[in-house]
């Protein structure tokens, strides 16, 4: 069966629906235009209070772009990405058609099982070789990953306490979170109860408090076996945020392949003072895009369920 370029690009955009995004806002829109696939950010689903500059919106779009490329490869196509300054954020061109190789198909399967895990991490620390694999994955994806040492984890715990508190005291931010968690969010977006812990676990580095208790049994352990890492890079422009999202997706794919769990913690990058503190912690060698908690997946327990997604027709448009 020969699949047309247009169909392959539409299938790639469909694969991108699985990408992670801040509060599951899915702030992307794809336009399939002949042999081009265009990626746009959707300002209607931007978090105006928590993400006024659109960093996390564009980062989420970058994760979707990476998913689209993995989807394309799984169908036997290789994608070339054009990155215009401005709109669209990216244009994908499908270049040649080979029989899909098993490695490319496996990568797509990994993205299908990937999910955010807010349960307490298991007692098994993430092995050094897996941590290194994640550092390498970030670089492949176009950013860098710094795994924090013990002192830096304690500094992070303080930063997150400060950013979390500042957000709890900001009525508009609280209201914004409430619209994506429960609330009257568009169907197919936001966080269902089933992925939110019933009780916030007692950890050194706090998880995000969504202001509601869900139905996820998070476990009674601690986070002593967790690793924490900062995804960072050279610039603080939309092009860098897009790359950061691609890197996040590549890191998460590698984590899933290696039995590691990932929980993004974005509150410290949402506020200027903690974002600067993270930058100082990196020795001013780069700009912090996102904090990640890494753990070892517990093989005896299935992970939390998948969050819903917007239907394809709301995020993909085919133009003749
Ligand atoms: C940029 C970004 C920031 C995120 N920040 C947080 C966070 O602070 N706390 C959290 O629990 N989840 C966070 N998430 C995870 C999203 O809520 C999650 O990706 C989304 O709900 C979709 O669920 P899934 O990853 O299980 O597919 C973040 C994800 C992204 C891409």
Distance 21 CA to ligand 1 centre (A): 5
The ligand 1 atom at the shortest distance from the C-alpha of residue 248 is 31
List the end-to-end C-alpha distance of the chain, in Å, as a whole number. 22
In this structure, the answer to whether residues 101 and 11 fall within a common structural domain is yes
In this structure, the answer to whether residues 270 and 199 fall within a common structural domain is yes
In this structure, the answer to whether residues 73 and 155 fall within a common structural domain is no
pLDDT in tens, 175-206: 999 999 976 778 899 999 999 999 988 899 99
| CATH number of the domain to which 195 belongs | 3.40.109.10
pLDDT in tens, 73-122: 999 999 999 999 989 999 999 987 778 799 999 999 999 999 999 999 99
The ligand 1 atom at the shortest distance from the C-alpha of residue 21 is 31
Distance 4 CA to ligand 1 centre (A): 34
pLDDT on residue 98: 79
Q: Is the CB of 196 under 6 A from ligand 1?
A: no
pLDDT on residue 97: 78
Q: Is the CB of 47 under 6 A from ligand 1?
A: no
> Is 120 part of a structural domain of the chain?
no
Task: Please state, rounded to an integer, the average pLDDT across all residues of the chain.
Answer: 94
Its domain, for residue 78, covers 5-115+307-319
In this structure, the answer to whether residues 34 and 143 fall within a common structural domain is no
In this structure, the answer to whether residues 217 and 132 fall within a common structural domain is yes
pLDDT on residue 183: 65
In this structure, the answer to whether residues 231 and 311 fall within a common structural domain is no
> Is 208 part of a structural domain of the chain?
yes
Distance 264 CA to ligand 1 centre (A): 6
Q: Is the CB of 60 under 6 A from ligand 1?
A: yes
Distances (CA, A) of 13 to 10, 71, 138: 5, 8, 22
In this structure, the answer to whether residues 223 and 277 fall within a common structural domain is yes
In this structure, the answer to whether residues 168 and 28 fall within a common structural domain is no
Distance 20 CA to ligand 1 centre (A): 6
- Span 230-248, average pLDDT: 98
In this structure, the answer to whether residues 17 and 71 fall within a common structural domain is yes
> Is 122 part of a structural domain of the chain?
no
Query: Which of 66, 304, 309 lies closest to 207 in space, CA to CA?
Result: 304
């Amino acid at each position: 069966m020969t699949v047309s370029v247009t169909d392959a690009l539409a299938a790639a955009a469909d694969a991108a629906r699985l990408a992670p995004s801040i509060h599951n806002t899915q702030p992307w829109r794809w336009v399939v235009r002949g042999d081009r696939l265009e990626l746009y950010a959707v300002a209607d689903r931007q978090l105006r209070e928590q993400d006024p500059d659109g960093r996390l919106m564009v980062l989420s779009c970058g994760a979707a772009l990476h998913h689209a490329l993995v989807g394309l490869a799984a169908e036997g196509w290789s994608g070339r990405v054009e990155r215009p300054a401005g709109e669209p954020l990216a244009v994908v061109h499908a270049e040649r058609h080979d029989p899909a190789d098993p490695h490319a198909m496996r990568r797509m399967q990994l993205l299908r099982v990937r999910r955010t895990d807010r349960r307490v991490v298991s007692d098994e620390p993430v092995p050094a070789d897996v941590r290194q694999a994640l550092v390498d994955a970030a670089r492949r994806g176009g950013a860098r990953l710094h795994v924090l040492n013990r002192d830096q984890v304690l500094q992070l715990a303080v930063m997150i306490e400060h950013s979390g508190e500042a957000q709890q005291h900001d009525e508009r931010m609280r209201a914004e979170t409430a619209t994506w968690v429960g609330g009257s969010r568009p169907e197919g977006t936001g966080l269902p109860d089933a992925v939110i812990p019933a009780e916030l676990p007692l950890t050194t580095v706090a998880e995000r408090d969504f202001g509601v208790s869900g139905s996820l049994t998070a476990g009674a352990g601690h986070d002593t076996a967790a690793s924490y890492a900062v995804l960072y890079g050279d610039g603080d422009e939309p092009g860098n945020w897009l790359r950061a999202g691609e890197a996040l997706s590549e890191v998460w794919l590698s984590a899933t392949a290696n039995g590691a769990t990932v929980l993004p913690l974005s509150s410290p990058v949402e506020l200027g003072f903690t974002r600067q503190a993270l930058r100082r912690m990196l020795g001013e060698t780069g700009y912090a895009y996102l904090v990640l908690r890494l753990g070892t997946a517990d093989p005896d327990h299935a992970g939390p369920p998948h969050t819903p997604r917007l239907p394809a027709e709301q995020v993909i448009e085919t133009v003749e």
